[in-house]
Amino acid sequence: MSSSKQPASTSFKAPDSSRLQLDEQGRLRHFLTTDGLSKDILTEIMDVAESFSSVGQQAVKKVPVLRGKTIVNLFFENSTRTRTTFDLAAKRLSADVINLNIATSATSKGESILDTIRNLEAMQADMFVVRHSASGAAHFIANNVEPHVSVINAGDGSHAHPTQAMLDMFTIRREKKVFSPLKVAIIGDILHSRVARSQIHALNTLGVKEVRVIAPKTLLPSDTDSLGVHVYSDLATGLDDVDVIIMLRLQRERMGSALLPSEHEYFECFGLTEEKLAYAKPDVMVMHPGPINRGVEMDAAVADGPHSVILQQVTNGIAIRMAVMTLALGQAKGAEQ
Amino acid sequence: MNILIKNGRVIDPANECDDVLDVYISNGKIQSLGEQPVGFVAQQTIDAKNQLVMPGFIDLNASLREPGYEHKAVIASETKAAVSAGYTSVCCLPDTQPVLDSASVVQLILDRAESTDYAKVLPLGALTVALEGHTLSEMYALKKAGCVALSQAPNNNINAQVLRRALQYASTHDLLVILKPEDVLIKDTGCVHDGSVSSRLGLSGIPVAAETIAIAQIIELAEETAARVHLTGISSARAVSLLARAQLNNVTITADVHAHQLHLTELDVGTFDANYHTSPPLRSADDKDALIAGVAKGVFVVSSGHQPHDVEAKQAPFPSTEPGISSLETVLPLMLELVGDGLLSLSQMVNCLAYAPAQLLGLETGRLSAQAPADICIVDPNNTWQVNAENWLSRGMNTPYLGHQMKGKVTHTLVNGRIIVEK
């Protein structure tokens, strides 16, 4: 059989998301995953975010960059925090925003998702910000929207949460300036974490020295190394000499599905305390995507301590989302003026 | 009606035949190979020069969707697709609505197949009532009504106790039991192979252990009950070695692999391409190679695993799409590709598509012996064609091969000595 597009390749190839995410000129059209995007694109997102970061300090916290654009926050999965920051970001760009929270139960079938999209497109929406409990949902929607509509992934299953990853990169860059010498450790539930996957791809693309993951084996995906990370099972060796620590949120349901014995034992092995922080570099920064379970993922003393940048992450999240929305709608020129 | 198929290369592993021979058919049966029977006058002659003449293929695993899921496919559309692809008999899974667990549903399916008159349909009765895995079906009644075997597929939601008793009872009536080896608890919400692709895409993985644990359990029960068991749709290298070991120990267990598992791997899922959402999942390249080697060694045979779907079934985020490929029409070119690559002989191919399945089911077909029913397919091995919506016959367009060039096409199919396909 000879064929134009032969299936069954023999070597690993990264899923080709870039074709879907970029337009013909190589500019960002959809933002679905950090996987496959170039260092230039990721840097541009942070540069544009930098130019927006002062907007929040102005008396009038608004710029007219997306005036007349309609952005729909389409949340098939509950979220307050992420939706609020997207909402705020869109409003600071002067866009019209519609927030739709759609119970997943009513739309577990694909045809209803498509119907929802078709209806909103008929109302001349320019952008969908999508959160969904199924991995691949944002790709599915991006594959099915009209050519002028952009899709931003606000979290799909365990797959990707690229704006969270980019606000983390932005926070690291503001603190550490350059990526190349950094050793970064991600601690916790890698298996179910869309945040971790997006961070790992972004960190590797931006050229950090080393990405480590530290977790019990029940919370690691198979072939974890193939993601481009070093795997550790304990904090003492895993945190040795690291510049950045990223904690992940632990969902309570992991105990129910026999992945962990108890929160108490998890904290004892993988919880971040001031003593364990001492394994890392003295100027280590501690990050967490929130909301934090104090006493499960980390001590309150660490969360509120001098190494923590958790609140900067939240502030930076608005600038990053403004940047991504602006770039995807092709209005970056207006932003820089 | 007397039919002569002349000048074709006859591949018939049952009779260890691979020769250019003429085939003489009358009254729906094969009269002789090579020698013209006394007084034989052909009313129709098919010139099969440069073509392969083989026993019609027998599929062990296809969902035909009727009754109950006519929006996906119907018996007429799928048996037409089958016969055009060289299949003269198709075993249909019991996953209909109502489930194929009563004589009346068997009768309905057989009547429909007879009236459409394409490939023969061989019903697989449900092993348990409504395929729920609790109560044994009326196996004797199903056998009397025409079921060739029993099956719990496409699921394996049955505990070891019920399975053990079902095998004992099936064995009482000398019925073959076809099982899909899959531990549902380990599979959980998995939708792709548990490996680098599931890790990267954040999709729940199906570990190989979901298959091997089920196989180990089934082997133990098959040995203990002496029931005849066939595993359908194996997917991993470890399954191949488990089976080979069981066969060495003389356990009466057989198996099949879906033809596309010999070609596709987890990497083909790409970026959430739902056409590659299959059950069992597409596994690693090493698994694929071990499956090909297993077929070549005769450890197991090949089935289609045909799962036709409506368009909507694949129009959703990947984990919410329905698994399966509409595969009947691509089995032959995929197998011929393995032959072309030197991985399999033509005789081995025919053995695992026709003769061995016939032996398993106790059919007279699958061979070109004198007095066997004349179920025959004739194939032009060099005809290249493109898979497209115009020439696709299954109602399910869910094939990952859409737009691909395929080599090898059926020119004629005869069922009971009648020419059903002629191109």
Residue B382's domain is classified under what CATH number?
Answer: 2.30.40.10
Q: What confidence score (pLDDT) does residue A17 get?
A: 63
- B230, pLDDT greater than 50: yes
Please give the order of strands across the beta sheet that includes A230-232.
Answer: A230-232, A210-214, A183-187, A244-247, A285-287
Is B176 part of a structural domain of the chain? yes
Please tell me the CATH superfamily of domain A163-314, with its number.
Aspartate/ornithine carbamoyltransferase (3.40.50.1370)
CA distance A132 to chain B (A): 9
Q: Which of residues 129-168 of A touch B (CB under 8 A)?
A: 132, 134-137, 139-140, 144, 156-160
Q: Is A107 on the interface with B (CB under 8 A)?
A: no
Is A19 in a helix, a strand, or coil? helix
Contact A140 B196 (CB under 8 A): no
Is B8 part of a structural domain of the chain? yes
Q: Residue range B364-373: average pLDDT?
A: 97
In whole angstroms, what separates CA A318 from the centre of its chain?
13
CA distance A187 to chain B (A): 17
Question: Does residue B42 share a domain with residue B67?
Answer: no
Question: Does residue B340 share a domain with residue B194?
Answer: yes
Contact B202 A157 (CB under 8 A): yes
**Backbone φ, ψ for residue A319 (5° rounding):** -60, -40
Question: Does residue B305 share a domain with residue B256?
Answer: yes
Is B366 part of a structural domain of the chain? no
Question: Does residue B70 share a domain with residue B27?
Answer: no
Q: Is A110 on the interface with B (CB under 8 A)?
A: yes
Q: Which chain A residues have a beta carbon less than 8 Å from that of B315? A: 110-111, 114, 144
Question: Does residue B222 share a domain with residue B156?
Answer: yes
Query: Which of B340, B361, B382 is a domain's end point?
Result: B361
Q: Which chain A residues have a beta carbon less than 8 Å from that of B383? A: none
pLDDT in tens, A287-300: 999 889 998 999 99
- A12, pLDDT greater than 90: no
Question: Does residue B386 share a domain with residue B338?
Answer: no
Q: Which structural domain, as residue segments, surrounds residue B8?
A: 2-52+372-422
Q: What confidence score (pLDDT) does residue A115 get?
A: 87
Assessment of whether the complete model's pTM goes beyond 0.80: yes
Q: Residue range A96-123: average pLDDT?
A: 77
Is B26 part of a structural domain of the chain? yes
Q: Residue range B212-238: average pLDDT?
A: 97
Residue B158's domain is classified under what CATH number?
Answer: 3.20.20.140
Whether residue A291 has a cis bond before it, omega within 30° of 0: yes
Question: Does residue B262 share a domain with residue B218?
Answer: yes
CA distance B329 to chain A (A): 14
Q: Which two tokens stand for residue B235?
A: 């997917």
Name the residue facing A1 among B318, B400, B405 (closest C-beta): B405
Q: Is A105 on the interface with B (CB under 8 A)?
A: no
- A28, pLDDT greater than 50: yes
Please tell me the CATH superfamily of domain A18-160+317-336, with its number.
Aspartate/ornithine carbamoyltransferase (3.40.50.1370)
Which residues, in sequence order, are bridge partners of residue A99?
A73
Question: Does residue B337 share a domain with residue B376?
Answer: no
The structure tokens 């003769």 sit at B355
Q: Residue range A17-44: average pLDDT?
A: 92
Contact B318, B371 (CB under 8 A): no
Alpha carbons B63 and B395: distance in angstroms, whole number: 12
- A5, pLDDT greater than 60: no
For residue A112, the chain B residue with the least C-alpha distance is: B316
Is B291 part of a structural domain of the chain? yes
Contact A222 B198 (CB under 8 A): yes
pLDDT in tens, B42-86: 999 999 999 999 999 999 999 999 999 999 999 999 999 999 999
Q: What confidence score (pLDDT) does residue B406 get?
A: 97
Question: Does residue B150 share a domain with residue B85?
Answer: yes
Q: Where residue A3 falls among pLDDT bands split at 50, 70, 90? A: very low
Which residues, in sequence order, are bridge partners of residue A150?
A127
Total number of domains constituting chain B: 2
| Domain parsing of chain A, residue ranges | 18-160+317-336, 163-314
pLDDT in tens, A131-175: 999 999 999 999 999 999 999 999 999 999 999 999 999 999 999
- A15, pLDDT greater than 70: no
For residue A131, the chain B residue with the least C-alpha distance is: B317
Q: Which of B197, B272, B329 to mutate to test the interface with A (most CBs of A within 10 A)?
A: B272
pLDDT in tens, B137-168: 999 999 999 999 999 988 889 999 999 999 99
For residue B278, what are the CA distances in angstroms to B181, B233, B304, B325?
14, 11, 12, 7
Is B367 part of a structural domain of the chain? no
The closest alpha carbon to A160, from A186, A139, A189, belongs to A139
Contact B268 A7 (CB under 8 A): yes
Q: Which of A18, A117, A135, A191 to mutate to test the interface with B (most CBs of B within 10 A)?
A: A135
Question: Does residue B311 share a domain with residue B240?
Answer: yes
Question: Does residue B389 share a domain with residue B282?
Answer: no
Question: Does residue B351 share a domain with residue B269?
Answer: yes
